[in-house]
Structure 1
Amino acid sequence: MNHAILVVKVISNPVYLTYKEYQVIEIKVEFPVSRQKNSGKELTLLLWSDHQGDFVKYYKVQDYLIIEGTLILKGYKTIENKAKIIVKRIYPFLLT
């Protein structure tokens, strides 16, 4: 199981997707601190059910969030690593 807890910064507006009868929101985020040069900086969040409404209602671009969810890697054998996280819990993160 690939459980992850991360602090991320929202960098784009949500994109609404429909899969069969389910509604999903896809959001691009990035890590707020610089990392190794060859590592990926961006992730995609997938929000289902109640998290969709909460995100649209309370969060916007440039907000920092604490994300808890399951990590999915696509294309790990190719140059383009596509990391996605299915969000289980989402919390606001305040920087002072």
Structure 2
Amino acid sequence: MNHAIFVVKVIEKPVHLIYKESQAMEIKVKFPAPRQKNSTNELTLLLWGDYKNDFVKYYKTKDYLIIEGTLTSKGYANEDNEINEVKIIVKKLYPFLLI
């Protein structure tokens, strides 16, 4: 199982997705500081149900969050190079306060 916990910063406004009978939200986030200059530090969160409503109500762009969820990866190749898209299906969501 690909269970993961991250501290991330919200970098874009959420995008609402509508599937057959349910609604979801995609949010672009990034790690606060990458360890290597050429490493990718962005990923996408997928929020369902009550977490979607809580995010709209309590969080905004540039907020830091602690997320817990399932890590998924989808790779595809285009003409220039191979692209790996990483998403996390959020199971728990917590605010992260910097003092």
- What TM-score comes out, normalization by structure 1 length? 0.94
User: How far apart are residue 76 of structure 1 and its match?
Assistant: 6.9
The CA deviation string for residues 32-82 of structure 1, in whole angstroms up to 9 with x for no partner, is 012223321100000000000000000000000000000000007762110
Runs of 4+ aligned residues of structure 1 deviating over 6 Å after TM superposition are none
* Partner of residue 11, structure 1: 11
Match of 2:61 in 1: 61
Q: Which amino acid aligns with 1:68?
A: E
Task: Give 1 or 2 for the bigger CA radius of gyration.
Answer: 2
Map of 2:84 onto structure 1: 81
Q: How far does residue 19 in structure 1 lie from its aligned partner after superposition?
A: 1.2
Which consecutive residues of structure 1, in runs of 5 or more, have no partner in the other structure? none
Show structure 2 runs of 5+ residues with no match.
none
When the two structures are superposed, what TM-score results if normalisation uses the length of structure 2?
A: 0.91
C-alpha RMSD of matched pairs (Å): 1.4
- In 2: Cα distance, 1:91 partner to 1:76 partner: 32
Instruction: Work out the number of aligned pairs and report it.
Output: 96
Q: Identity rate of aligned residues, in percent?
A: 69
1:93 aligns with 96
